[in-house]
Amino acid sequence: MTGGGLLVAGTTSDAGKSVVTAGICRWLVRQGVKVAPFKAQNMSLNSFVTREGAEIGRAQAMQAQACRVEPTALMNPVLLKPGGEQSSQVVLLGKPVGELSARGYHGGRQQQLLGTVLECLAELRGTYDAVICEGAGSPAEINLRRTDIVNMGIARNAGLPVLVVGDIDRGGVFASFFGTVALLSREDQELIAGFLVNKFRGDVSLLEPGLDMLHDLTGRRTYGVLPFRHGLGIDEEDGLRISLRGAVRESEVSSPVGEDVLRVAVCAVPLMSNFTDVDALAAEPGVVVRFVDRPEELADADLVVVPGTRGTVRALDWLRERGLARALVRRAAEGRPILGICGGFQLLGEHIEDEVESRRGQVEGLGVLPVRVRFAREKTLTRPVGEALGEPVEGYEIHHGVAEVTGGEPFLDGCRVGRTWGTHWHGSLESDGFRRAFLREVAAAAGRRFVPAPDTSFAALREEQLDRLGDLIEQHADTDALWRLIESGAPQGLPFIPPGAPA
C-alpha cells in the first residue's frame, strides 16, 4: 500500500518551504503518523552526511529530525553543490558523479534522473504513512518546466497534491498566488490544491477578505495563515538570508552567564558551505556571531571562524584581495583565537595541491598551520567520533582535500598551534561539553570574563525549534483539511485559471 503524500511548493525561493515542510512533519509525527521528508533535487552548499555515508541537503536532515527518523539518501536523491556562477557538482544518491554546467544539467541530464527520483519517492511511500515533499524555487518557472523533476514534474508523475506557500512579509502575496496558478498548464493546475500564507504580521481578520477574493478568483482555498516568528530559519538551503555586513546570527537574545559577552566573527568567504556550523555558538547565552568581509571587522573579535567553502583556492584569493589574509596571519602571530573548519582549515595550511576544484595546481596557503593539503578526486564522507579538550565530540566530514599534518598539537583530525585550531569536522560544536571547553579556552585567550552556560543543550534547542514549527501548523493551519489532502489528494473539479502555461 502506498502512503499519502503532499508537495509543499512556494511562490519564490525562500518563501518558507523548508520550515513549513518541517512543521507539517513535526505536527504529523506528534499525531502518531509515520512520516518522512523528501526533496527530489536540492541546490545547496549546506549539506550533511547520513550514517551510511551519503551526502544530502541539511534541510532534509533537519526535516528527518522533525519526523524523528534517521536521514537517508532516499530523502534527497539529487543534490547540486554550486562551484561558481555556471556549474555545480552533481551528487546522486549521496555520492558525487561529476560537474555540470546549468545548461548541461537542464539540457538533458536532469530529465534522465526522473526515474531515480520517482523510485526513491516510491520506496519512501511504501515504507511510511505519509511523505511530505518540498519543491524548489517556484513551480511556475516556465522556462524550466519541460525538464522539471522537483516541482510539478514530480507532482504529476507521483499524483501529489500541491500546497503553495507565499511569504506575505515580502508583499505581493495575492498576485504571487494567482500568477503561480495561472502560469501552469491545465494538467498541473489540477494538482494545485490551495495556498498557505507565511510570515503574517497583524490582525488576520484584515487579511480574510483578500483570502475570500483569492478563493473566488482561483477556486482554491487557503489552508492557513502562519504568523511571523523570529528564530525559525534553521538549516537554510538557498544561501545566507541575512546581510553579510554586521549581521548577527542568533536564536534568542540571552544575557551572558559571566560578566562579558564573547564576540565571534565569521569570514564570509565565497561559496561558503555549512555556515550552520556556527549556529551552536550563536545558541550560547552571551555569544554574538556576525559575518564579516573586511579586515577591520576582525579587530574586536574574540574568535574568528574561517568556515567551510566549496572553493578553497577561490576563498584564499578573496581573503588576500580584501586584506583579510594579512589580518588572519597577524592575528595568529599575536596568539588571538582562530578556528578553521574544513576549507577554512585547509587554507590556513602551508600549501594546497588542487587539480580537482580550481585545477590551479600547487597554491601557497596562509602558512599558519603545519598542514599540506592535496585534493583527491574521491570525496571523504564520514561521521567521525572522538575526544578533544577532555570531552567527547562527534561531527561529519565532507571534503576532497586530504590533509597531511606535520606538526602542532593534535586537534580532532587536524591540529592546533598556539591559539589557532583547524579541523575538517563539521558539527563538532554541537557537542555541548566540547563546545563549552572550547569557549572557555577562547575566553581565556581573549581575556574575557565570559562563562559558558552550564546547561545549554544544542540538541534540546533544536527540538524546541522543531516543536515551535509543529505548533505553528497545529495552531494556525486547517489540519483536518491538510490531512485530507495528504491522504486523498487534490480536490476534484478545481477550475482552470487562464492563460495557463505557454505552448
Q: Which residues are catalytic?
A: 342, 426
DSSP letters of 77-113?
SEEEEE-SSSEEEEEETTEEEEEEEHHHIIIIIHHHT
User: What type of residue sits at position 465?
Assistant: Q
CA angle 168/145/501 to nearest 5° reads: 75
CA 398 to CA 342: how far, in whole Å? Answer: 8
Sheet holding 95-101, edge to edge: 41-43, 78-82, 87-92, 95-101
414, three cell numbers: 587536524
Cis, bond preceding 499 (omega within 30 deg of 0): yes
Contacts of 57 (CB under 8 A, 6+ apart): 39, 42, 44, 46, 47, 48, 76, 79, 237
CA angle 24/95/341 to nearest 5° reads: 80
The answer to whether 255 touches 287, Cβ cutoff 8 Å, is no
CA distances from 205 to 168, 178, 200, 211 (A): 15, 21, 12, 10
Alpha helices by DSSP H, 159-297: 173-182, 186-189, 204-218, 279-282
Task: For 380-393, give one letter per residue: b (16+ CB within 10 A) or e.
Answer: bbebbebebbeeeb
